[in-house]
Structure 1
Amino acid sequence: MPRMLDVSDDVRAEIGDEEADRLLAGENAPGAYDCTSCRTPGNTDQERTSTVLFVGQETAVLAFAHATCVPSQVVPVAEEQLRGAVRSITGEDTADPLAEAVPHGVSAAPQYASAAPSGYAGAAQPRAQAAVQDPPQQPGRAAPSPQAVLGVTSGVVLVGGEARPALVVEPTAPITRPGSGQGDDFLSLLTEQGFLPVVDLNRPPGPNHGWSVLIAMGQLHAVLMPSANGGAPVAWWQAHRPMPLSEGWRNAANRSRQVMIYAAPAGTIGTQPREDQLRAALDRAAASGALVGASMPLAGT
């Protein structure tokens, strides 16, 4: 029975005409699935469904999403991030992601990704930490000292009375310009990259064009920035392991298709156990002139 699948030209080019035709004919596609964007159930027999192909250097994962959530597309993902997602889905950290397929699991491409919902409703997410990638050919980006990493906390923040998905970025130590070795240049480096001072959290921060937030399989993978040579976006911040996002956060992101990114110097925000306390800490940072922000679209799903 033919499935109600959308296979974009980009996806078809990656998986080949033969595999794409098998999918459309219903030979190689599941009926029921968990949407890789909103994590709610879907069915290729009953509703229009997008095929979403996550592609690394060696690994590829074919997933499914409601067509109303995201269009069919190819999403580039760092190989290690993709393999980490495979391991988290299969529940086997040592599993070979190119092994034979498991039902509603992940294996060699084409494969069908499905993961259990995750999240911490009503609370700010545990902080994920990762070093900022800073190739020499991209001057002016935030560069940590060897001891500093960026902590990222997710939470739903009320902005103008509307629940908006937010990521709060705070280094574990002062960030200095390459070669400086003193002071804290974190905010000035970010303003040079298009972030703007935040003085009122009741208004969303302005867009930072070319930047985006990569959500894959319902988890946070990276914050992407434009490439200096005009090529594909590169990771400004990348999680060591995919970061779980609460159902409330994902729902807010699917509604707005925008993520609020707030950044503050080391020691400004701290670890806040509840979203109301996170908002209060952001308000204090804004009042003291120690907060910058930007709004960014979702990349991928």
Structure 2
Amino acid sequence: MPRMLDVSNDVRAEIGDEEADRLLAGDNAPGAYDCTSCRTPGNTEQELTSTVLFVGQETAVLAFAHATCVPSQVVPVSEDQLRGAVRSITGEDTAPSYAPPVPAAAHAAAPHFPAPAAPPAYPAPAPSPASPATASHTSAPSSHAPVPQQAVLGVTSGVVLVGREACPALVVEPTAPIVRPGSPGHGDEFLQLLSEQGFAPVVDLSRPPAPNPGWSVLLAMGRLHAVLMPAPGGGRPVAWWQAHSPMPLSEGWRGAVGRTRKVLIYAAAAGTIGTQPREDQLRAALDRAAARGALVGASMPLAGT
């Protein structure tokens, strides 16, 4: 039976016309699936569905998403991220969703995510304890970024009430001062570096932070993979923060991002927010940081939207 599939030109170029036509005819496409973005059920026979191709250096994975969540697209990811996605698909990490592996086209090459000049990228996270209300990941800084201490960047997810709307948020806080790359000093310039990248001071959490053009949040298989920033000189976005293993997100967080289609990013210097086991405590810590002028933020769409 023909499927209600959207196969973009980019996806078709990667998988080939023959495979794309088989998908549209229903030969290799599932009926029911779990949306790769919001993780809620979908059905290719009943609703328009996007094909999303995750491309690594050597392999690729084809996944499916509600067309209302993300458009059909090719998403470059690292091989580690791709292996995490496959574990999710095969049910090793969570409930299975249908996404058959397909070979990457010979010309396809997933770029490495280089560390931006400012602020530094943190590509190798180690998980930290998480509660049902909030989830956190930390990542070690790049060896190319000179810092006086071995800082790690903590990323905590939570649902924050902004006005009357429950919004999905990520709170970023390093465990030690972040020094400007190449600087001989030891002062914490984390917020200044973010301000230079388009983040704005947050003084009132009743209003969402302004959008930061070119930045986005990469979700796949219902998990957080990276925060993307514009590439120097243009081209494909690069990862400002990249999870070593996909970061789990609560059902409430995924539901909120499904409604708003954006993520609020708040960032504070080391020691400002601390570990908060509940979302109400996280919100209180953010309020205190904003009152002290120690919080910056930006709102970002999901990657590809």
Aligned to 2:107: none
Q: Secondary structure at the match of 2:303?
A: strand
Q: Is the 8 A contact 1:131 1:144 kept in 2?
A: no
Unaligned runs of at least 5 residues, structure 1: 94-101, 111-119, 137-142
TM-score by length of 2: 0.85
Q: Aligned AA for 1:104?
A: Y
Q: Deviations over 1:105-137 (max 9, x none)?
A: 654448xxxxxxxxx896111x1011355978x
Q: Deviations over 1:264-296 (max 9, x none)?
A: 011111111111100000000001111000111
Aligned to 1:234: 238
Aligned to 1:205: 209
Q: Aligned AA for 1:124?
A: T
Query: In the TM superposition, what is the alpha-carbon distance from 1:241 to its structure 2 partner?
Result: 0.7
Aligned to 1:28: 28
Q: Deviations over 1:203-229 (max 9, x none)?
A: 111111111111111110011111112
Alignment of 1:143-154 (within 5 A): 144-145=147-148, 147-154=150-157
Separation of aligned partners in 2, 1:231 and 1:133: 22
Separation of aligned partners in 1, 2:147 and 2:262: 27
Query: In the TM superposition, what is the alpha-carbon distance from 1:88 to its structure 2 partner?
Result: 3.9
Aligned to 1:82: 82
Coordinate RMSD, CA, aligned: 2.2
Separation of aligned partners in 1, 2:223 and 2:40: 14
Aligned to 2:171: 168
* Equivalent residues, number: 277
Separation of aligned partners in 2, 1:260 and 1:295: 4
Q: Aligned AA for 1:165?
A: P
Q: Is the 8 A contact 1:220 1:239 kept in 2?
A: yes
**Distance change >3 Å, CA 162–CA 174, structure 1 → 2:** same
Aligned to 2:218: 214
Separation of aligned partners in 2, 1:65 and 1:13: 19
1:177 matched to 2:180? The reply is: yes
Q: Secondary structure at the match of 1:27?
A: coil
Q: Is the 8 A contact 1:122 1:275 kept in 2?
A: no
Q: Is the 8 A contact 1:32 1:42 kept in 2?
A: yes
Aligned to 2:140: 131
1:104 matched to 2:114? The reply is: no
Q: Aligned AA for 1:58?
A: E
Q: Is the 8 A contact 2:215 2:228 kept in 1?
A: yes
Separation of aligned partners in 2, 1:257 and 1:40: 15
Aligned to 2:54: 54
Which of 251, 255, 280 is the aligned partner of 2:284? 280
Aligned to 2:66: 66
Aligned to 2:197: 193
Q: Is the 8 A contact 1:48 1:67 kept in 2?
A: yes
Q: Aligned AA for 2:54?
A: F
TM-score by length of 1: 0.86
Aligned to 1:156: 159
Q: Is the 8 A contact 1:121 1:246 kept in 2?
A: no
Query: In the TM superposition, what is the alpha-carbon distance from 1:68 to its structure 2 partner?
Result: 1.8
Unaligned runs of at least 5 residues, structure 2: 105-129
Q: Deviations over 1:161-183 (max 9, x none)?
A: 10011000000111111223411
Q: Aligned AA for 1:25?
A: A
Separation of aligned partners in 2, 1:132 and 1:59: 27
